[in-house]
Amino acid sequence: MFDFWHFIISNQSELLNQTVQHIGLTFISLLIAVIIGIPLGLLATRYEKISSPLLGAVGVIQTIPSIALLGFMLPLLGIGVIPAIVALFLYALLPIVRNTYSGISEVDESVVEAARGMGMTSGQILRKVELPLAMPVIFAGVRTATVINVGVATLCALIGAGGLGEFIFRGIALNNAVMIMAGALPAALLALGFDFVLGFFERNFSDLVKPLSYGLVGVLIFVSFYALSSVFAKSPFKMGVPSEFLERADGYRGLTRHYDLGEVPTIEMNASLMYNALKNGKVDVIVGYSTDGRIKAYDLKVLKDDKHYFPPYQCAPILKQRFATEHPEVVKAINKLAGLIDTQTMTELNSRVDYQQKDEAEVARDFLRNHGFKTDITRQGTPDMLIGGKLQTEQFIMGQMYRMLIENYTNLDVGLKLGLAGTQIVFRALNNDEIQMYPEYTGTGLHVLLDTDKTVSDSLGNDPQAVYNYVNHHMLKQFGIRWLKPLGFENTYALIMRRKQAEKLGIDTISDLVDYLKHN
């Protein structure tokens, strides 16, 4: 509990900012949904023919998982506030349209008949009779939509739209419960708060109509201002950063200190979406992975780490020493790959999956076959061991290769637990024997898993072998975990820009970028 308060207090400005973004996202999407949804619902009551297709359509939207909806919108709208608001708007639509429709349809027919018979115009019937009588039902729809939106809005952090999801996803990546709570608790409170406020409006609707409409206009202006300012803000340079990088020892803070980077506006986003965002000009520089296939595919440029901030990140599988002793045949099978995949090969394989949309198992099998390995045995039974992996594309490919090698060269049956969201999560799973092996990077071992002192890491310098030896030795001592032979490629963190822009601005190294930012 103390940790929690401490975290809240020390991060209060960021928390406040995220909360305001969260309210903004929820509110503006809700407002649009109300402005569009209520007339749609009314339309459905007036034209019975369109009512079932319309309600069906908004219902179908609701059944699309929120992550998938955000994913669908990537090619259309890219990342940032606008696709987030569009997605939230679509989710809010169903409860509002459906409740408007049923609220109006359920108004007693004889009441409407009487109103018509007394000479009310259809506009008057709507305003004076149908809407007031349907109001409780419509309000219930708006309240449902609000609660849904507060929840879904947390996912918008994945596409760089901000909000309380930033803490939640960073917390998940770092396995930091306090951080998750710092995002989740305010989100839950927001949902309750919104619900309460709407309930209050509903009870006092007739007295509040006038102040409410003025207030609404005010809020609309405020919210639009918020949304527009963050979308169209003319900051010359924006940096897209994955959640995990923000908090790592070899991450953002160290980078800014090492290069004296100063304040660069950063947008936190899902690691897989950054490349698209960079390509589409939503951000100008990202912190990505040097082996990512999209670097080549999107014609991006990796800036040289001229001041050697990032340590070597040789990729090698790690497993418990105990397991290695029990299953020497696994170690032998895995080590067949040692040194076979250099950085260029890995980038190429990644690009086949990321860019050419090939199946990662397919890519893995092709590679193994071309190198003369057996790949024809596939076991479907209960797994004897589980291989883990992080979210990066290459981890999916490596996981598949390991499975094929172990199943073809030993008698073990292999299961996969790939795509775990963050170093801490995968590592903890290995440490708790929930998985038996996963590919890790030496630099990450040095800074994240071992929490190595800066003087020590500086003394190791940029010597890959020295770093490998250091992490192997110390992790064996500390966790009983062993590093197998490196695969041959390095996947370092890297600052990546669009090649054209980098060339135009004459930026080749991180120092060039820092210089450029200082003078602009």
Partner 1 sequence: MITLENVTKVFGSTTAVDEISFKVEKGETFGLVGTSGCGKTTTLRMINRLIEPTSGSIAIDGKKTTAQNPEELRRQIGYVIQNVGLFPHYSVQENIATVPGLLNWETQRIQSRSEELLQLVGLDPETYADREPSSLSGGQQQRVGLARALAADPPIILMDEPFGALDPITKQQIREEVGQLLEQIHKTIVLVTHDVFEAFEMCDRLCLLDQGKIQQIGTPKELLFQPANDFVESFFASNRFQLELMSITLHDILKSAEEEMELYWSPPLRDKKERIDSRESLYVILEEIEKAKEQNPVIIQRINGRVRESLGFSALLNRFQQYKLQMKSGGRHV
Distance in Å, CB of 138 to partner 1, minimum: 14
> Which residue lies nearer to partner 1 by CB, 104 or 385?
104
How many CA within 13 A on the CB side of residue 398? 34
d(CA 481, CA 39) in angstroms, rounded, equals 62
From the list 111-119, 330-338, 392-400, 481-489, the region that binds partner 1 by CB under 8 A is 111-119
d(CA 17, CA 180) in angstroms, rounded, equals 16
> Which residue lies nearer to partner 1 by CB, 99 or 423?
99
Distance in Å, CB of 111 to partner 1, minimum: 5
Query: Please, are residues 351 and 293 in contact by the beta-carbon 8 Å criterion?
Result: yes
Distance in Å, CB of 95 to partner 1, minimum: 23
Among 407, 410, 417, 414, smallest CA distance to 384 is for 414
Query: Please, are residues 316 and 398 in contact by the beta-carbon 8 Å criterion?
Result: no
Which position among 65, 75, 117, 262 is part of the footprint of partner 1 (CB under 8 A)? 117
Distance in Å, CB of 92 to partner 1, minimum: 26
- Looking at this protein, which amino acid is placed at residue 95? P
Distance in Å, CB of 38 to partner 1, minimum: 18
Tell me the per-residue interface mask from 126 to 145 with partner 1, x by CB under 8 A, - otherwise.
--xx--xx------------
Which position among 32, 43, 120, 476 is part of the footprint of partner 1 (CB under 8 A)? 120
Which position among 11, 51, 105, 124 is part of the footprint of partner 1 (CB under 8 A)? 124
Query: Please, are residues 120 and 129 in contact by the beta-carbon 8 Å criterion?
Result: yes
> Which residue lies nearer to partner 1 by CB, 124 or 469?
124
Q: Is 339 exposed, middle or buried (0-12, 13-18, 19+ CB in 10 A)?
A: exposed
Count Cβ atoms below 10 Å from residue 410 Cβ, excluding itself: 19
Distance in Å, CB of 136 to partner 1, minimum: 10
> Which residue lies nearer to partner 1 by CB, 133 or 220?
133
Q: Would you count residue 180 as binding partner 1 (CB under 8 A)?
A: no
d(CA 254, CA 447) in angstroms, rounded, equals 11
Distance in Å, CB of 41 to partner 1, minimum: 19
3-state secondary structure of 164: coil
User: Within positions 89 to 108, which residues make up the interface with partner 1, using CB under 8 A?
Assistant: 108
Which position among 35, 60, 114, 177 is part of the footprint of partner 1 (CB under 8 A)? 114
Distance in Å, CB of 122 to partner 1, minimum: 9
In terms of DSSP bridges, do strands 493-498 and 300-302 run parallel, antiparallel, or are they unpaired?
antiparallel
> Which residue lies nearer to partner 1 by CB, 130 or 166?
130
Distance in Å, CB of 199 to partner 1, minimum: 19
Which position among 35, 111, 209, 228 is part of the footprint of partner 1 (CB under 8 A)? 111
Tell me the per-residue interface mask from 265 to 304 with partner 1, x by CB under 8 A, - otherwise.
----------------------------------------
Give bridge partners of residue 509 from the DSSP assignment. Answer: 304
Residue in this structure with the two tokens 């359509």, named with its chain if needed = 57
At what angle are helices 12-46 and 131-153 packed, to 10 degrees?
Answer: 140
Query: Please, are residues 295 and 371 in contact by the beta-carbon 8 Å criterion?
Result: no
> Which residue lies nearer to partner 1 by CB, 132 or 215?
132
> Which residue lies nearer to partner 1 by CB, 43 or 135?
135
Among 234, 248, 240, 331, smallest CA distance to 280 is for 240
- Looking at this protein, which amino acid is placed at residue 212? L
Secondary structure of 56-87 in the HEC alphabet? HHHHHHHHCCHHHHHHHHHHHHCCCHHHHHHH
Residues that bind partner 1 (CB under 8 A): 108, 110-121, 124, 128-129, 132-133
